[in-house]
Amino acid sequence: MMNTRTKSLLRQSRTDVTAREFPFRSYYGRAVLKPPVWKWEIPAYLFAGGLSAGSAVLAAGADLTGRPALRRAGRVSALTALVAGAYFLVADLGRPERFHHMLRVAKPTSPMSVGTWILAAYGPGVGVAAASELLPAALRRTLPGRLLRLLSRPAGLSGAVIAPGVASYTAVLLSQTAVPAWHEAHPELPFVFTGSAAASAGGLGMVLVPLSEAGPARQFAMLGAAAELAASRLMEQRLGLVRQAYTTGKAHRLRQWAQRLTVAGLIGTAVAARRSQAAAVTSGLALLAGSLLQRLGIFEAGVASTKDPRYVVVPQRQRVADEQQPASRAAGPSGNEHGPS
């Protein structure tokens, strides 16, 4: 079997041959696709949604293992990030009622519709769990207060169950568009987003929680950071021509800094965060910044890929050639379907 380096070289040579054999042209050099009209609010929404989902999972684990400080930080962070993400989404949509309109129908074949219903199912549990933590002490002794505290655990667990969908559905949503850099990365993009969500949530937990209770946050952060780095690397190695959208320009600079900060946060968490609160806070902030820059870099790569017709034309022609090649081999040199007798 071929090793990884051989496969990489073969893939690169195939990309080079493809670019030479399939010349691309567009009308007066214009882009084939329109660039996304989204602005910075969308990558901010992607980051906030992942942070909320990761925090909900971390809070549920803290609740089950008796870590009240980590539970409180996770629940409040999950709700805060969810509200921030809703603000960014509404700011991009322009009118709040558009989110309500999407709840009028349920289309399993539409990532947008599925994502809307995932958020609708996720929000109430996160809200109830966070409200129980924010309830004033005087109200906790009342009947509504006791009822709220009684419901907080099942509400938090329900949010944690739905959280992986919240963390990953935005990657599916992006990859189902016609944007080449997002569409071609569809196998790895959900793993990049989910790992990034865990890294950011664990990093925030390290910032907010004392060392004595932050053990699960550190482990969650390291697991998420390692998954994000591995999935991102695999994505770059597998992509063909469209890989250049991720490795050049503004997207490349953003993702380079994202990788540096994530690696620094991972090393700091593994080496020093369990002994020093300052190291824990620094490492956590690095992981948060790396997660945000990862979303910004992926967003910029998508925008860049719509502006260059090569990323649309060349892969399409390569797919057509790949589909025609088996048929031509089956026909044989003489044109007979079973080859020469």
In a domain, 309, yes or no: yes
In a domain, 8, yes or no: no
In a domain, 336, yes or no: no
Whole domain around residue 206: which residue ranges? 34-318
In a domain, 18, yes or no: no
Domains: count for the chain: 1
Count the Cβ atoms, other than its own, within 10 Å of residue 86. Answer: 18
Give 114-166 pLDDT, tens digit per residue: 777 888 899 999 999 999 999 888 888 888 888 988 999 999 999 999 999 99
In a domain, 13, yes or no: no
**pLDDT of 306:** 87
CATH number at residue 148: 1.20.1630.10
- Lowest pLDDT segment from 146-150, 179-183, 243-247, 330-334: 330-334
Distances (CA, A) of 287 to 176, 202, 205: 28, 8, 11
Give 227-255 pLDDT, tens digit per residue: 999 999 999 999 888 889 999 999 999 99
Predicted TM-score of the model (pTM): 0.81
Nearest-angstrom CA–CA distance, 307 and 330: 38
Q: Return the C-alpha torsion angle 50, 51, 53, 55, nearest 10.
A: 160
- Lowest pLDDT segment from 22-36, 89-103, 108-122: 22-36
In a domain, 22, yes or no: no
Query: Among candidates 43, 17, 2, which has minimal Cα distance to 303?
Result: 43
DSSP class of residue 22 equals S
Give 254-268 pLDDT, tens digit per residue: 999 999 999 999 999
- Which residue is it, tokens 């956590």? 284
